[in-house]
Structure 1
């Protein structure tokens, strides 16, 4: 059916509106299938369904889309008998309505794309809808002894169709957008970068305002109040103006950022809710029962990220239904509810997205995984015998792995979880799996997101500033001895009726020895993944709204850091991963077999970057901000290598090397000098002083540091 060109814009808008209405109808139909609905609640859903179908019919007719109006009318007719009686809807009728909605949306999308003339006559499809619609008294599903349902109505859609419907639904939401300007992703990204620059300017304005206040205070302390009155008045007025300008700039930045987010993001529910239908159809196809719960569906993310994730989520849920969940009878024999529970949980902390997909099924059989990997040639028997449980579970991500002996529509081809891992890694993320036999399996996807700013709490451990995503900080308080329980190995804090382990941030970072918190020391209650600790810091600097950037590829796998941000004066601030802080509170960074490095640099930024790169190579790293502090460290500890800045105040790198070579204990200690000057003279000066290696800071930023350290240690005979 052709659509008048003048109406085409309205048809595009109608398709987007219809998509939203159909999603609501689909969710209501899936709710109807659940057990335990009261008749009053059922009646309300039927009224809502009728209203939605009537809206679709009327809107389609008003645009001259008679085929769509006829489909909606037939669906109304099919709903009418149960709506009048408030009986529970037969599953066969649910199938009919869902298939009718699929047909409606496919044709609506074709009209929106200008392909209405190519559509076949809907008469045969409408006739099939009528034939499929069962009478309420004849098609009611009966409960089988196992707790499942025996359905005499038409079969559910095939798994492939279920997945296609889920993907098509999310794609339709993207494609049927409201008419407007077309811009490229590159243009939007460039605009976001400019907004970030404006945010940094705002931070600098705030810093200048604080500096003016300090100058005015300093003048007042000089005692020359009369002589400095005019200057202090001018400074005070300028400071007020700067604060006003800063507040206005902040409002502009926030408005721009919110506008960009509205354009470039959408709620996660737009890809998660359509998966409810896929789970339902796939479960019925396999004779199983499953309910999908979604937590955190209102989190908004970059549209491009969501589009790349939807295929991975389809794979994970299909895998959970097919491999994870047991048949209803088997579940009841195991003491479980006949309906399997699937959960998708979404959480964003700073610039990290955590997406968890879990089920309460049979779990992963490690023995079966080993045998299958060997049988399919994924891994040799010798290799599998050396793997621990976590490494065996990771075999399921290998290409060609499948525990299915036969090939079905849903599995057995060895394609699935390897594609999921590839998709996640293409987004610079990672996927982990945990499983308990008989209780279920959990997949956790961790992905970086880089859209907009995030609130960050800046804290200090000794002389080092670090950041924590504010979403992970539940509360802050000062340590009180009466609330602490100090044992031989560790301290605990009484907090809201619980004993939380106290983690010393300096010790966790390898900057100092563990020690219980002192009276009045700041404590942060940090939570992640359902776990909480009390994090002891030396000072809370304050909260900042910062753009968190991923770390360079060479150090992206370092478990402690999730990214870095820039402060108002250009200083680099590393951002801690909350899950690392709470993940193993017993752990310290010092290990008996760990290689130990000392980084000496008066630049906080350089110390932080060198440390991250070395930790990525398995080193335990201690830091010193001066040559004198390094000598103190070397008297108290032993190290395998020293990385030192060439140009430092008071004692430079060549002078530190001279001190080390004078001492018997450190005479043979490998030392690598690093300099901001990439010149032949600087390199010659460093090597003549006795350095074992030399790198420019540009080479360090390019990822050369770890390789140089290992090379020097190998040449010097140190353990590598």
Structure 2
């Protein structure tokens, strides 16, 4: 049989899989040998990998693969027999050969075989310089030409997105050993369907619980009925009833006793069935979920090599130390982590690690070290990438912020280190004056942050000057499941992913204040903006009265928002069910899920929700949360709306009137005040005249044209003390005009009491 006949798809696929596994062994072993060329176990592992690839290439008839693997094996055997000491140039060549083998095994790479002759010449010179061929007739020297591959980027085959990658242990086919676990290829869509079905079966088993509870309640009622009959029998026997009555009663008791036994047996059977069904459904779900999980090491393929090669190209010696490579993570998460991790690693080698001479002057080893740790914590994958480089030059960072006109110099000078470091995540921000091909390319940490946020995760940078930087990433272990807080809004269930929740609070109604026309409450020494989930999600507001608001505090970068909800249902682990793509992007919603009782819950897209908040704020349409029913127990206090574009005047009037016992709301201009008047009830309006968007005269005119507000008392408080100004205000419909020039506490309070009486009438 000719080699061409043997190159069928199945054999080539097996060879490609084996090449992928064995080249990983070669890459890891050669990097270890670079640090210590005399490691016997690593030499043995690399030699066996090259030998296996040579045999596999010979079986499928790929002569180029046989030649490359054979010369690599010769080099490694020579090192084993101590006829050759592996130097950096040997390691470089062997790593290039490893990449070349992977290219040869990759379907569609037609240029790989053309690079083989140059590689063989290069290896021959390294093994025996005297064996280098003389220049040919055209005068071309036998100096090996560089391989057509970027040295810092190892080539790995790109697997189709819809397929589950076989485990490395089985990639060698029969060479994996008889005890190796069989691996089958299954499409990602089928795995997703399996996970969806298993989650639904888990939900269905939960529906047995109410039936079992009803059966138990029926048992209790049955027992009460039997005891009642026992009491009736005692009474009848003592009252001299006929034998026929007593016999009928006894027969009834016997029937009830039989039904009691059946009830007890059925309840026990249903209880046992429900428990076993839930256990099996949970096991099915866990197994289906585990099928999507892969070790974190799968995303690290080639990263150690990339760090090493990139460092050498920059004149640096850098190595990558990895901890927690066996940590299990969802396949989709791993795929999305590869790009940001690669960028951070390249960034650390280029920007973080100093040149060897600078490191020695700083008292550090000449070799730089990157550490990548992976671990689980509360359903999250925690990644820490640290380097022992120079850290961030904060003074240079301050100058760059000022030079780019991102913030005034006096403000920058007062910023904390954490505040300064956040500027590094802005689009296009860099401390480099020139864009480099290594880690600049015009794409900075903002791209990394965007990719991490797409995973519903977060990233934080810390540093110690002269000692290095550390990136702390938190992303979900899986995108198929999300740990959420389920709440009730407008009588329906919604879920906030826990990754975006700072905390939950009960906020007393009296703690809610108006600042710049927006509602806030004070918590841990800062004001937190308050919005109603019912308005954001277009649900009817709750009508029930309560002394406290239930608030979910969500975080977006350094900004905190409080979202008022009706009820906190509790924390749940939800299996994500994507929305039908025909719906397009549903505002503020990312996906759906099923609760234990089979009811549907919508999972909130927090970033989209915050964009909705900003939109409502910018258009002035953000509604206040109605606190009329929560103003306190006892007699209702009279409510006053203060409309003024001066924060000082607003707060002064609010405090004065609040001290006297009135319930005071504020608005920043006439438009804000008009919106408040249409959505809430007030006993008095106090307004300025000169304001943006809508002045006081326009506001009073609108009030007097509105049937509901025609009788509302209106007071104008203005700096203008001329008679014509006073006449304009009164002509528009104001009941009282008070000049700020002659303004004092008693004048305002007396005027308010004259118009509407005391705070509680």
TM surpasses 0.5? yes
Flag the 1:632–1:98 CA change in 2: closer, same or farther, 3 A: same
**Higher radius of gyration, 1 or 2:** 2
Aligned to 1:128: 122
1:329-344 matches, cutoff 5 A: 329-344=357-372
Q: Identify the match of residue 90 of structure 1 among 76, 87, 90.
A: 87
2:316 equivalent in structure 1 = 288
Contact kept in structure 1, 2:163 and 2:188, CA below 8 Å: no
How many Å separate the matches in 2 of 1:437 and 1:640?
A: 55
State whether residues 329 and 381 of structure 2, in contact with CA within 8 Å, keep that contact through their aligned partners in structure 1: no
Which residue of structure 2 aligns with residue 13 of structure 1? 14
The CA deviation at 1:204 is: 2.4
Structure 2, unpaired ranges of 5+: 130-142, 167-182, 231-252, 487-492, 512-522, 524-568, 580-584, 618-624, 642-659, 667-677, 684-708, 715-761
Equivalent-residue separation in structure 1 for 2:410 and 2:144 (angstroms): 50
2:574–2:593: 8 Å Cα contact kept in structure 1?
no
Residues 409-488 of structure 1 mapped to structure 2, 5 A cutoff: 409-448=437-476, 450-452=478-480
Determine if contact 1:351/1:549 at 8 Å carries over to the other structure: no
How far did 1:555 drift? 8.3
**Deviation for aligned residue 1:12:** 0.8
**Closer, same or farther in 2 for the Cα pair 1:315/1:640, shift >3 Å?**
farther
Structural mapping, 1:283-322, within 5 Å: 283-322=311-350
Deviation at 1:269, TM superposition (A): 0.9
The alpha-carbon deviation at position 249 of structure 1 amounts to: 3.7
TM-score by length of 1: 0.58
Query: How large is the RMSD of aligned CA atoms in angstroms?
Result: 5.6
Instruction: Say if 2:274 is the partner of 1:246.
Output: yes
Deviation at residue 19 of structure 1 after TM alignment? 0.7
Distance 1:399 1:122 in 2: 43
Paired position in structure 1 for 2:375: 347
Q: Matches of 1:571 and 1:665 in 2, distance apart?
A: 46
TM-score with structure 2 length normalisation? 0.55
The Cα shift of 1:172 comes to 9.1
Choose which of 278, 294, 309 in structure 2 pairs with 1:266.
Answer: 294
Which residue does 1:196 correspond to in 2? 199
For 2:332 and 2:55, locate their aligned partners in 1 and report how far apart those are by CA, in whole Å: 34
Are residue 62 (structure 1) and residue 59 (structure 2) matched?
Answer: yes
Indicate conservation of the 8 Å contact 1:162/1:277, yes or no: no
The CA deviation at 1:231 is 4.4
Q: In the alignment, which residue of structure 2 is the partner of 1:109?
A: 106
- For the 8 Å contact 1:550–1:556, the answer to whether it is kept is no
Q: What do residues 584-632 of structure 1 show as CA deviations (whole Å, max 9, x unaligned)?
A: xxxxxxxxxxxxxxxxxxxxxxxxx99x999x99xxxxxx9x999x687
**1:366/1:4 CA distance change after superposition, 3 Å:** farther
Partner Cα distance (1:194, 1:89) in 2: 55
Moved more, 333-342 or 16-25: 333-342
Question: What is the CA deviation profile of residues 43-73 of structure 1, one whole-angstrom value per residue up to 9, with x for unaligned ones?
Answer: 1222222222111111111111221111111
Which runs of 5 or more residues in structure 1 are unaligned? 136-152, 459-464, 471-504, 515-540, 558-562, 578-608, 618-623, 642-663, 671-686, 693-714
Q: How many angstroms apart in 2 are the aligned matches of 1:374 and 1:295?
A: 39
- In 2, the alpha carbon distance for the partners of 1:280 and 1:102 equals 14
Q: Structure 1 residue 133: deviation in Å?
A: 5.0
Aligned counterpart, 1:566: 595
Residue 27 of structure 1: aligned partner? 28
Contact 1:267 1:298 in 2 (8 A): yes
Equivalent residue for 1:165, pick from 154, 160, 165: 154
- Counterpart CA distance in 2 for 1:310 and 1:118 is 25
Question: Is the aligned partner of 1:209 residue 2:212?
Answer: yes
- Per the TM alignment, residue 456 of structure 1 is displaced from its structure 2 partner at its CA by 9.8
Q: 1:396, 1:402 within 8 Å by CA — same for their partners in 2?
A: yes
Deviations 1:674-710 (A, max 9, x none): xxxxxxxxxxxxx999599xxxxxxxxxxxxxxxxxx
CA change 1:212–1:454 in 2 (3 A) is farther
- Aligned to 2:469, the other structure's residue is in SS state strand
Distance 2:322 2:359 in 1: 22
1:86–1:72 CA distance, 2 compared to 1 (3 A): same
8 Å CA contact retained: 1:16, 1:173: no
Question: Partner of 2:153: helix, strand, or coil?
Answer: helix
